[in-house]
C-alpha cells in the first residue's frame, strides 16, 4: 500500500489529498500542518478580524473531511527536516514519518521589512488565522492602526480594521495602492473608494521607523519627518515562498520550488504546489510563482493525480485576482501592467462613474486585463488569455458594453457554457 505525505493543509494540499484518494482509494495519506486548525480559507481572515465570520464559516471542508477520506491529520506540529534518500520527515515533537510520495504545499511566510522597531509589542503580520486573532485581541483596548504596505494583504487588513471602527492609515512606498496589480487609473478609483470609507493613505513613504514607549508601539515615523500616532502596526509588504525545508533537503530552489508539468520537483516522487511552487504561467508564458488561490487548487489537483499514478500535465495557471475593497470590485489578470509598451497594444475604456476597463494585447492575443466596477466580462476575457485566441477580428469589441460569450469562437463558447 502506497503512503503519501502532504506538508501543508490549505487549498493546494486539500485538492491534492482529494485527487490522491480518487486515484488510490486505499493508500495511506498523512497531512501535516503547523497550524492547529482544520483547513480554512486564508482570504477570509480579513472577514474574521472584522467580526463578520466565525472559524466554522471559514472551513474549506466539512468537519468529518479527514476521517471520511481516510486521512491522518497531524495539526499544530511543524516538520523540521526532510531526508529525501530515506524518504523520511522529522517533526518538531521528534516523531518521524515515511513516505512513498511527498507533496510540499507549505505556502508563504510574510516578508518582514528591515524597519527599526519591528520587535515592539503591537507589531503584527497578517497571514494566518492566529495573526487575525492576535490583532483582534490586542485592539480591544486600542484604537489607532497603521498598515505598512498597500498591496492585497495590506488592503485586506485595512478593510477589516475599518469595519471594526479603528482609525486606520495605510503607508505605501510606491505612488499608488495595489501598484503591482493595477495601473494608475484603476488605482485612483480604488483609492477614492478607500478614502470615502475613512481610510487614510500616505504614498511615497515606506515607514522609516516604528516608534515605541515602554516596549509598546506608539507611532510610525515617516521618512519625510511626519509621525503617525498609533498603537498597532501591521507589516504587509508581501509574502515569500516557504522554501526552507526544500532548500535544506537539497531540492532545487529559486524564488520558489521549480516544478515540471506534472508538478514534480527536482527530486523524483517529490511534488510541490501552491504559493511555494514555480509553475507555468500561461499569460506571461514563463515559469513563476503564482501565489493565488485558483493556482494552488489547480496545482494541487495535478500533483495529487500524478502522485497516485497518473501522468496528467498541469494545464497551466495564471495570477488572476477578483475581489472587492471598500465597496469597489476589481479583477486583474496576466500582463495588465507590462514594463514597456513595446510589442503591446492597450485598449481602454476610461474611468467613468467608478468603472474602468483595460485590455492588453500582444501579437493579436489578450495577455492581461483590468476591470473595475463591473466584472461580468472577467471570465470571458480570461478564457481568451488561456486559450490564446487571436482576437484581431473583434478586438475593439473587448471594451464594448455588449461584449460577451457571443464574440467567442464557437468551439470555445461551447466549452465555456458547458463548464458553467
Model pLDDT for residues 55-82, shown as the tens digit of each residue: 999 999 998 999 999 999 999 999 999 9
For residue 25, what is its C-alpha cell?
A: 482509494
Q: What is the predicted pLDDT for the residue at 63?
A: 87
In this structure, are 252 and 105 located in the same domain?
A: yes
Whether the per-residue pLDDT at 397 is higher than 60: the answer is: yes
In this structure, are 127 and 229 located in the same domain?
A: yes
Q: Which residue, 73, 72, 69, 67, is CA-closest to 25?
A: 69
74: containing domain: 3-41+60-109+241-307
Please give the Cα distance from 181 to 166 (Å, whole number): 26
Residues 335-348, mean pLDDT to the nearest whole number:
87
Handedness of CA 49, 239, 355, 196 (dihedral sign): positive
In this structure, are 105 and 245 located in the same domain?
A: yes
Q: What is the predicted pLDDT for the residue at 206?
A: 63
Question: 329 pLDDT band (50/70/90 cuts)?
Answer: very high
Task: Report the percentage of the chain scoring pLDDT > 90.
Answer: 76
320 vs 176 pLDDT, higher one: 176
Q: What is the predicted pLDDT for the residue at 284?
A: 80
User: Cβ neighbours of residue 189 under 8 Å, at least 6 residues apart?
Assistant: 328, 351, 354, 356, 372, 373
In this structure, are 192 and 213 located in the same domain?
A: yes
Model pLDDT for residues 375-388, shown as the tens digit of each residue: 999 989 998 998 89
Q: What is the predicted pLDDT for the residue at 412?
A: 57
In this structure, are 17 and 76 located in the same domain?
A: yes
- The CATH number linked to 159 is 3.50.50.60
Give the C-alpha distances (Å, rounded to integers) separating 200 from 60, 132, 169, 219, 251. Answer: 34, 21, 4, 15, 44
Domain assignment present for 160: yes
The CB density around residue 418, as the number of other CB atoms within 10 Å, is 7
In this structure, are 350 and 398 located in the same domain?
A: yes
In this structure, are 136 and 231 located in the same domain?
A: yes
Whether the per-residue pLDDT at 183 is higher than 90: the answer is: yes
In this structure, are 246 and 104 located in the same domain?
A: yes
Whether the per-residue pLDDT at 320 is higher than 60: the answer is: yes
Show which of 200, 235, 270 is a domain's final residue: 235
Residues 295-307, mean pLDDT to the nearest whole number:
96
- The CATH number linked to 371 is 3.30.390.30
Q: How many domains does the chain have?
A: 3
Residues 273-282, mean pLDDT to the nearest whole number:
92
In this structure, are 227 and 246 located in the same domain?
A: no
Residue 148, φ and ψ in degrees, nearest 5: -95, 105
410 vs 18 pLDDT, higher one: 18
Show which of 216, 235, 254 is a domain's final residue: 235
Domain assignment present for 352: yes
Domain assignment present for 68: yes
Identify the three-state secondary structure at position 161. Answer: helix
Q: What is the predicted pLDDT for the residue at 420?
A: 53
In this structure, are 227 and 249 located in the same domain?
A: no
Please give the Cα distance from 143 to 220 (Å, whole number): 15
Task: Report the percentage of the chain scoring pLDDT > 70.
Answer: 96
Q: How much is the pTM?
A: 0.92
In this structure, are 283 and 223 located in the same domain?
A: no
Residues 248-272, mean pLDDT to the nearest whole number:
97
Model pLDDT for residues 216-234, shown as the tens digit of each residue: 999 999 987 889 999 999 9
* Cβ proximity of 308 and 26 under 8 Å: no
Model pLDDT for residues 7-35, shown as the tens digit of each residue: 999 999 999 999 999 999 999 999 999 99
Q: What is the predicted pLDDT for the residue at 323?
A: 87
Question: 260 pLDDT band (50/70/90 cuts)?
Answer: very high
Whether the per-residue pLDDT at 134 is higher than 90: the answer is: yes
Please give the Cα distance from 337 to 321 (Å, whole number): 14
Show which of 307, 337, 356 is a domain's final residue: 307
Which of 57-61, 89-93, 411-415 has the least mean pLDDT?
411-415
Q: What is the predicted pLDDT for the residue at 184?
A: 94
Domain assignment present for 365: yes
Average pLDDT value over all residues in the chain: 92
In this structure, are 222 and 269 located in the same domain?
A: no
Domain assignment present for 353: yes
Residues 343-365, mean pLDDT to the nearest whole number:
92
Whether the per-residue pLDDT at 410 is higher than 80: the answer is: no
Amino acid at each position: 500500500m502506497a503512503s503519501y505525505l502532504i506538508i501543508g493543509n490549505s487549498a493546494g494540499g486539500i485538492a491534492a489529498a482529494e485527487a490522491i484518494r480518487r486515484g488510490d482509494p486505499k493508500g495511506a495519506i498523512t497531512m501535516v500542518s503547523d497550524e492547529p486548525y482544520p483547513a480554512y480559507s486564508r482570504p477570509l481572515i480579513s472577514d474574521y478580524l472584522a467580526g463578520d465570520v466565525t472559524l466554522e464559516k471559514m472551513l474549506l471542508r466539512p468537519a468529518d473531511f479527514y476521517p471520511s477520506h481516510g486521512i491522518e491529520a497531524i495539526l499544530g506540529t511543524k516538520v523540521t527536516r526532510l531526508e529525501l534518500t530515506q524518504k523520511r520527515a522529522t517533526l518538531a515533537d521528534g516523531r518521524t514519518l515515511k513516505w512513498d510520495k511527498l507533496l510540499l504545499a507549505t505556502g508563504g511566510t510574510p516578508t518582514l521589512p528591515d524597519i527599526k522597531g519591528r520587535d515592539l509589542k503591537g507589531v503584527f503580520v497578517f497571514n494566518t488565522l492566529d495573526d487575525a486573532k492576535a490583532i483582534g485581541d490586542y485592539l480591544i483596548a486600542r484604537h489607532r492602526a497603521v498598515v505598512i504596505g498597500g498591496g492585497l494583504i495590506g488592503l485586506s487588513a485595512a478593510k477589516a480594521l475599518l469595519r471594526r471602527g479603528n482609525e486606520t492609515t495605510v503607508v505605501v512606498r510606491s505612488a499608488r495602492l495595489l501598484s503591482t496589480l493595477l495601473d494608475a487609473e484603476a488605482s485612483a478609483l480604488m483609492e477614492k473608494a478607500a478614502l470615502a470609507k475613512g481610510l487614510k493613505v500616505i504614498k511615497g513613504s515606506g515607514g522609516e521607523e516604528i516608534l515605541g514607549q515602554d516596549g509598546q508601539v506608539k507611532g510610525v515615523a515617516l521618512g519625510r519627518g511626519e509621525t503617525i500616532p498609533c498603537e498597532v502596526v501591521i507589516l504587509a509588504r508581501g509574502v515569500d515562498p516557504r522554501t526552507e525545508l526544500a532548500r535544506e533537503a537539497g531540492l532545487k530552489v529559486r524564488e520558489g520550488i521549480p516544478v515540471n508539468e506534472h508538478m514534480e520537483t527536482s527530486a523524483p516522487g517529490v511534488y510541490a504546489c501552491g504559493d511555494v511552487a514555480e509553475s507555468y504561467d500561461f499569460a506571461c508564458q514563463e515559469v513563476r510563482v503564482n501565489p493565488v488561490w485558483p493556482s494552488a487548487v489547480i496545482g494541487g489537483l495535478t500533483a495529487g493525480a500524478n502522485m497516485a499514478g497518473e501522468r496528467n500535465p498541469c494545464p497551466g495557471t495564471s495570477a488572476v485576482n477578483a475581489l472587492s475593497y471598500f465597496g469597489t470590485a476589481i479583477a486583474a489578470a496576466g500582463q495588465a501592467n507590462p514594463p514597456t509598451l513595446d510589442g503591446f497594444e492597450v485598449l481602454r475604456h476610461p474611468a467613468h462613474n467608478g468603472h474602468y476597463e483595460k485590455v492588453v494585447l500582444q501579437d493579436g492575443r489578450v495577455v492581461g486585463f483590468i476591470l473595475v466596477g463591473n466584472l461580468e466580462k472577467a471570465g470571458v476575457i480570461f478564457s481568451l488569455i488561456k486559450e490564446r485566441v487571436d482576437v484581431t477580428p473583434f478586438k475593439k469589441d473587448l471594451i464594448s458594453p455588449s461584449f460577451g460569450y457571443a464574440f467567442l469562437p464557437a468551439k470555445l463558447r461551447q466549452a465555456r457554457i458547458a463548464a458553467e
